[in-house]
Amino acid sequence: MNSTTPSLRPGAVAARFGPVCLRASFVLLVGLPVAGAGAQELTSGSEYELEAITVMGTRERAYRNVVAPTANKSDTLVKETPFSIQTVTRELIEDRGVTTFGEAVRTVPGVTPQVGWGGSNDRFRLRGFATTANLKNGFRRSVFAPVDELVNIEQIEVLKGPASALYGRFEPGGVVNLVTKKPLDEAQTRFDLTGGRYDFYRGTFDTTGPLSDTVSYRVTGAWQDGGSFRDFVEAESQFISPVVRWQPSPQTTLTAELELGRRDSSFDRGFGNSPLFLEVPIHNNYAEPDARLENESALASVVLDHAFDSGWELRSGMQASWARTDALWYPYGFEPISGADTNDPQVNRRRQRSVDEQTDASVMAEVSRRFDTGAVGHRVLLGADYHYDEWDFEAQAFLGPGGFPVNLPISLYDPVHGRAPSGPLEPYDASHYDSHNVGLYLQDELQLGSQWRLLLGGRYDRSRSGARAEYLPVEGRLTRTDEAFSPRVGLTWTPSEEVSLYASWAQSFLTEPSNGMLREGNLPSPSRGRQAEVGTKLSLLDGRLEPTLALFDIRRRNGVVSDPDDFNYVIQVGEQRSRGWEVDVPYAVTSQWRLLASYTQLKTEITEDSDPALVGNLVANAPRRSASFWSTYDFAGRASGLSVGLGAIYVGEREANTANSFELPSYTRWDANAIYRFGEGQRYRVQMMVQNLGDKRYYDSGGPFVPTFAGAPRSVFATFGMTF
């Protein structure tokens, strides 16, 4: 059963897209074979997988899909894959009533959401390690600046552990893949209107259907406007995404997608890295009312899928994206608070404008085929890709006589705005970073009899990085070239249809040219990671109960950290280690009652460092324990059409910085949701969502240079939707 998205009028979206449309047109022209591959088509010979896809969206199944075809580059069942993979289905997103990526992935074990730049987007930590990029339909995209939306997302796939054997440059904790909606064969249109606390208003639309016997379309869009519990913080955004699919023959499909997004908001820096911020009202804002952030982004993709008569299947395409942010903001100083032991501590801040522009472009081609050699079955994948990304940054600041930003202190306990002296903003910093990456990868999934499966894979990468920054004490552009081989191997034993046991090992690598320069005048070499994982995946009660248990040990070496003797430089030393276990339990108790529970326990610590005082410290914003629970019940009889849901998110204590000088407290947040569907074919829908049911005070993220963000108090939202 294919589900559709919440949705509203396109007219409110189109009016604000001037500069974005021009740049998006350019991106589409240069990107046309662009490949924003959606959920990967299953092979024509894999009838059992097709049957699984057909039923996985019904209300009788648990809240996890049986395949994650894009993140895994395979239509192999998740149960038979020797790595931990979880999916966030469209059904779960709608039953929970969430509208952001950060909220959507809270039910995935081992994932910690982290607020992005100025509160404009979401980032993630996977098994304790922060991500610098996500995947969109299997193509790499930087996370710093884009305007993303849930309205055009069909499924979120989370692949745990090193993904470099398939995708190249990623951290060892894993990767998040966002799978977009594709056109349907039957015409359908859906509108949704939402209103809630803090003057929150949101409208979405989703329309799809055939244009001819071979061409179909889908267009999704969203408009959102809202205030905040934070002083003088508000945001407005628009997003639209058209998709066209051409199927000239049963064996060939060409899919083209476009995304345009814009966001105008206040720049919310949250709180600084000091325990004193935890004592003040959560509505306090230590910026000035003129702090603003403008985001605009565009993405274009085209992907070709073709099945040859020989049994080989081709998947090729390109994706290009562009994003820009223009921010006037008030960053905190390296010592965010002075006078901490006095009656009137002062928050140190400065006035700065930052303009960031990011471009990503990927080209990919891969072939796969199933065949047998004697008693051994194979699924072979062979591919090549090229990825280019660049990041331009420039900053202006209110400078003093020495050429450094002027400190504009404001009282921590009694902030008074509008009194800070200011002057014209002058050029302060400028940087340019770029990276060219070519990769070749090969993978073979071997079926050894009826019970054993062996996965062998590896990837060769050649990466050329460049950097030019005004603060670097060298002239011209720094460059370096690196080569890496990233293997992965896994073994799955399925002694019965209900039980799979697995063990795997994989390596990762990541180039970090934007993090700075070594004292010798060179760019840092790549960081490397490796993971060992063992676990079990069960399919019980005719597939209604499908728990996964995983134990893992990850080590990341050669990370880039600030030079303790001169912050103008960086050094590469040390090791971070993350080890622990996680359990994921999706359970369809009955055809009317579904629940999803998860628990993670891990320890992410610094095991080696140039500063001996840091050895043994925990990595910031990596909780030792976290858990989630969600349950939905569909009523029958006279109450048919009514569904109610209740869930909780638990996040344990987390260190707020690498020095481990203070902790962010643990919290449990309860949420509730009720949906009533009525009318012919249940075409109408009313929904009420309550987040933070107990009005809990909590803090959502923190890190060495990442501010601490308070979570919103109890918030109630109501939605009316219609499908026709």
Q: Is the dihedral of CA 158, 161, 166, 171 positive or negative?
A: positive
Q: Cα–Cα distance between 656 and 665 in angstroms, integer?
A: 10
Low-confidence ranges of the chain (pLDDT < 70): 1-60, 472, 562, 564-568, 702-706
Measure Cα distances from 216 to 479, 483, 600, 633, 638 in Å. 46, 42, 42, 35, 38
Which residues share a beta bridge with 249? 252
**35 C-beta neighbours (distance < 10 Å), count:** 29
Res 488: pLDDT: 97
The two three-digit tokens of residue 139, written as one number: 């193509």
CA distance 639 to 641: 6
Contact by Cβ (8 Å): 666, 652: yes
Sign of the CA dihedral 7, 9, 15, 19?
Answer: positive
> How confident is the model at residue 3, as a pLDDT?
40
Nearest Cα to 534, choosing from 497, 575, 493, 498?
493
pLDDT given for residue 705 in this prediction = 61
Q: What is the pLDDT of residue 702?
A: 64
User: What sign does the dihedral 160-165-171-177 (CA atoms) show?
Assistant: negative
pLDDT at 60: 65
Q: Collect all residues with Cβ–Cβ distance below 8 Å to 680 and sequence separation of at least 6.
A: none
Contact 142, 132 (CB under 8 A): yes
Could you tell me the two tokens for 317?
């395409």
> In the prediction, which pLDDT does 49 show?
39
Residue 661: the pLDDT is: 86
Cβ–Cβ under 8 Å, residues 198 and 13: no
Rounded to whole angstroms, the Cα distance separating 657 from 207 reads 46
Q: What is the pLDDT of residue 602?
A: 96
**Residue 238: closest CA among 5, 7, 17:** 17
* Furthest-apart CA atoms within the chain: distance in Å: 81
pLDDT at res. 571: 78
CB atoms within 10 A of CB 386: 14
Looking at residue 526, the DSSP 8-state letter turns out to be P
Q: Please tell me the predicted confidence (pLDDT) of residue 135.
A: 94
SS3 12: helix
